[in-house]
Amino acid sequence: QKEVEQDPGPLSVPEGAIVSLNCTYSNSAFQYFMWYRQYSRKGPELLMYTYSSGNKEDGRFTAQVDKSSKYISLFIRDSQPSDSATYLCAMSEGTNAGKSTFGDGTTLTVKP
């Protein structure tokens, strides 16, 4: 079993929908939680970065971390076709925050 599990999708939604992307993990030492967005033929781009539990909001994006359930989420409000990409979650331990463990990514398509 992988340390980080992520539903690969694909996920297809109409423009304007609220999107929920999720990851579960097994390593209770993870304290840093990231979401990356990867467009086709590009490298992953850092979207959100949170430490420990709680919520963080940035524009249309909200990241949630529930350490008690070992579950993290990324919500996208008012989704746009330009949000169509693969979204990867990543996590790091507190003592080695530079080294991350990545999920396999969820492919999202937002249809006009």
Partner 1 sequence: DARVTQTPRHKVTEMGQEVTMRCQPILGHNTVFWYRQTMMQGLELLAYFRNRAPLDDSGMPKDRFSAEMPDATLATLKIQPSEPRDSAVYFCASGVWGQPQHFGDGTRLSIL
Instruction: Select from 25, 30, 32, 87 the one that contacts partner 1 (CB under 8 A).
Output: 32
76 binds partner 1 (CB under 8 A): no
Cβ pair 103, 36 in contact under 8 A: no
What is the nearest approach in angstroms of partner 1 to the Cβ of residue 98? 5
Stretch that binds partner 1, among 12-20, 22-30, 44-52, 55-63 (CB under 8 A): 44-52
The half-sphere exposure of 88 on its side-chain side, counting CA atoms within 13 A, is 15
90 binds partner 1 (CB under 8 A): yes
Stretch that binds partner 1, among 11-19, 31-39, 64-72, 74-82 (CB under 8 A): 31-39
Q: How far apart are CA 19 and CA 26, in angstroms?
A: 24
How far from the centroid of its chain's Cα atoms is residue 105's Cα? 8
